[in-house]
Structure 1
Amino acid sequence: MHILLTNDDGYNAPGIQELYRVLKTKTKHDVSIAAPEGQRSATGHSITLFTPLFVTEHSLEGPCKGFSISGTPSDCVKLAIQGKLIPKPDLLISGINQGANLGTDIFYSGTVSAAMEGVLLGVPSIAVSLANFEYKDFGPSATYLADHLDLLLKLQHKGLMNLNFPGKPQTQWRGLKVTRLGKAIYENIFEKRSDPRGRVYFWQSGNLIRDCEDDTDLTAIQDDFISVTPMHSDLTDFASLQAWKDFFSDKL
């Protein structure tokens, strides 16, 4: 199997490099990398249209290659697959991200968006995150994923699998839960300031309000479980679809 790794933390980020090392050590899969040349967190599903994309090639073990790219995470996936930098992969893994991608935060996440781009291009994809910005040991998460990769693939899920690991030692993990997306709502604060030349700017911060329902990814991580959430690219509100058809049928 050919796996493409990508992320939003950058080609040299420890999460993606540790995942590559573990996959090459513990599996027999071919592994390529196409990732941003630097930090691109919270870029969502943005793509680059009005500037060129620059590519630096890196040698990897075996026949596969790595590419650091001057664009966004979604750019990296599109260029790697549609630009034929690599043969079309059988699986895309985005991560391991430094920090959680839970609840409604997935709409801002470059990690999840890169994985969703893989889905849009017909490649089953997994977004993987370590739910802590301070905890730096990616080894247990990478090893867990490598050890259970064949099991996860038996689901034959054609969409996106969003996987978050507790950001603490593996001895404190309590197992795995299949979850739905929770709601992460921010009370944003925009502090108004002025630079030395008098130009006004704003510095964004705020507090996170999380829902506490038992079956969400947010609660699972809070309770030290691995969270796995099945997702797909179709945002249609099917519950409203027929009602809207009936409502508008004789009005327009």
Structure 2
Amino acid sequence: MRILLSNDDGVAAKGLAILYSSLEGVGERTVFAPDRNSSGLSSSLTLGRPLRVTEHANGFHSVDGTPADCVHLAVNALLGQEPDMVISGINHGANLGDDVLYSGTVGAALEGRFMRLPAIAVSACGKGEESLITAGRVVRDLILRLEQLSLPEGTLLNVNVPDRSYEELNGLAVTRLGHRERAEKPVQVLDPRGNPAYWIAPVGKEQDAGEGTDFHAVARGFVSVTPLQYDQTHHATLSQLSEWLG
């Protein structure tokens, strides 16, 4: 099995190194990741300039672009053989609910899915190294079972791992996305010359976090596995719009 690894925390991120180590013996691993932290870039592609690739001493490759750039470039131009799947992560922090709309971790996995490849985005909900190690073991478990699963075209798995040791996990839960409240207002600051600038505020608190959601599962010690699709059409509204437009 040929596995393409990427992330949005950057090529030097600890989560990426742990993911690479966790999959030793599972398949042939290749890394193409952004050369810097690229969180929040979603599925954006760099279209206004050429991209440059650097190979590092550990065999990882960095791209001076977005997470989606990394997967797009690797699959379409740089790999001798197309990978069998794409794994993005391990993100240092959760990607729950509405977070997936902004997440570069999900964006990299989604780019793989655009190219008809099985894809998984994986995030560790804690900030410590133990949380990343737990997530690495979970990913390995899922990959070893993946041959038993046939996902519909255009579907990827968004995996969030609770902040606890592997032995303390309560199992796996298939979930839907929850939703957050509206984010706080941006924070205004002044630059050294007295000009106003703004920090984007943290995401909003959980609003829809009831049973069956990814928020609910993670809060109770379960690994959340959510199938995502890139068809964002609201099918239930099609007939209503047709009537409205005549």
Using structure 1 for the length normalisation, give the TM-score: 0.90
Amino acid in structure 2 at the alignment position of 1:30: E
**How many correspondences in the alignment?**
242
Match of 1:13 in 2: 13
Match of 1:122 in 2: 116
Does structure 2 retain, via aligned residues, the 8 Å contact 1:7–1:95?
yes
Match of 1:51 in 2: 49
| Aligned counterparts of 1:50 and 1:178: Cα–Cα separation in 2 | 40
Partner residue of 1:135 out of 124, 128, 138:
128
Report the secondary structure of 1:189's partner residue. Answer: coil
Post-superposition shift, 1:206?
4.4
Q: Which runs of 4+ in 1 moved over 6 A?
A: none
Does structure 2 retain, via aligned residues, the 8 Å contact 1:32–1:86?
no
Does structure 2 retain, via aligned residues, the 8 Å contact 1:135–1:168?
no
Report the secondary structure of 1:205's partner residue. Answer: coil
> Could you give the per-residue CA deviations for residues 105-127 of structure 1, whole angstroms, max 9, x where no partner exists?
10000000110011111111000
Matched, 1:203 2:196: no
**Which aligned pairs between 1:77-226 and structure 2 lie closer than 5 A?**
77-132=71-126, 134-137=127-130, 138-157=132-151, 158=153, 159-206=155-202, 208-210=204-206, 211-226=208-223
Using structure 2 for the length normalisation, give the TM-score: 0.92
> Could you give the per-residue CA deviations for residues 38-67 of structure 1, whole angstroms, max 9, x where no partner exists?
11111111111112211112466xxxx531
Amino acid in structure 1 at the alignment position of 2:9: D
Mark the structure with the bigger radius of gyration: 1
Cα RMSD, aligned residues only: 1.7
Report the secondary structure of 1:208's partner residue. Answer: coil
Larger strand percent: 1
Does structure 1 retain, via aligned residues, the 8 Å contact 2:156–2:227?
yes
Post-superposition shift, 1:204?
2.8
Post-superposition shift, 1:207?
6.1
Match of 1:75 in 2: 69
Report the secondary structure of 2:111's partner residue. Answer: helix
Amino acid in structure 2 at the alignment position of 1:143: R
Does structure 2 retain, via aligned residues, the 8 Å contact 1:80–1:86?
no
Report the secondary structure of 2:187's partner residue. Answer: strand
| Aligned counterparts of 1:123 and 1:241: Cα–Cα separation in 2 | 29
| Aligned counterparts of 2:146 and 2:180: Cα–Cα separation in 1 | 27
Amino acid in structure 2 at the alignment position of 1:227: S
Amino acid in structure 1 at the alignment position of 2:35: E
| Aligned counterparts of 2:78 and 2:46: Cα–Cα separation in 1 | 17
Report the secondary structure of 2:236's partner residue. Answer: helix
Does structure 2 retain, via aligned residues, the 8 Å contact 1:162–1:231?
yes
138-147 or 94-103, which moves further after superposition?
138-147
| Aligned counterparts of 1:153 and 1:127: Cα–Cα separation in 2 | 17
Post-superposition shift, 1:246?
3.1
**Unaligned 5+ runs, structure 1:** none
